[in-house]
């Protein structure tokens, strides 16, 4: 858990929604975020610490209204935690570097992984692929 001073700094830097999602395990409304219908080539970084977490090459249309990926850029970049809140058994996904809440992982994704990383746009910052 971050100390109060760094939390205050984050509050200044992030929007209220970004803060709520990443620090209070919030969830943005489906179809409301910046990236669920975003199709450019590039990478998605943690909004808090800027670590690259997902690639557009693993992003797919899940129909959920949240940006969905079938694989993380590197499995070591995300931390998976059992989440028993809201009367459900889910797997929470956090940034391994700064512990920001990103979203949840479900076992109903497409091949080759069969996984669905259901992320919040508010947790991510998109970086376009640099010019070749
Ligand atoms: Zn992070």
As beta bridge partners, residue 126 has: 44
State residue 56's pLDDT score: 98
Q: What is the mean pLDDT of residues 39-63?
A: 97
Q: Tell how far the Cα of 97 is from the centroid of ligand 1, in angstroms.
A: 5
Predicted local distance difference test score (pLDDT) of residue 127? 97
Task: Say how many Å lie between the CA of residue 124 and the centre of ligand 1.
Answer: 9
Enzyme catalytic residues? 118
Sequence-distant (6+) residues with CB within 8 A of 128 are 40, 41, 42
User: Which residues are bridge partners to 118 per DSSP?
Assistant: 68, 104
- Structure confidence at residue 46 as a pLDDT band (50, 70, 90): very high
For 98-121, what is the mean pLDDT? 97
How far is it, in rounded angstroms, from Cα 33 to Cα 69? 15
Surrounding ion ligand 1 within 5 Å at CB are: 46, 48-49, 51, 95, 97-98, 100
Question: Residue 47: pLDDT above 70?
Answer: yes
**For residues 8 and 11, which has the higher predicted lDDT (pLDDT)?**
11
CA within 13 Å, CB half, 22:
28
């Amino acid at each position: 858990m971050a100390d109060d001073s760094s939390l205050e700094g984050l509050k200044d830097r992030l929007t209220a929604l970004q803060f709520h999602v990443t620090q209070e395990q919030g969830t943005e409304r489906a179809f409301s975020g910046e990236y669920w219908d975003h199709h450019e080539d590039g990478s998605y970084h943690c909004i808090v610490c800027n670590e690259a977490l997902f690639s557009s090459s693993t992003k797919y249309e899940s129909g959920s209204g949240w940006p969905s990926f079938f694989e993380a850029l590197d499995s070591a970049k995300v931390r998976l935690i059992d989440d028993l809140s809201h009367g459900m058994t889910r797997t929470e996904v956090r940034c391994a570097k700064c512990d920001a809440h990103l979203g949840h992982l479900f076992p109903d994704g497409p091949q080759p992984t069969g996984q669905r990383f259901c992320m919040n746009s508010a947790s991510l910052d998109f970086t376009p692929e640099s010019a070749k």
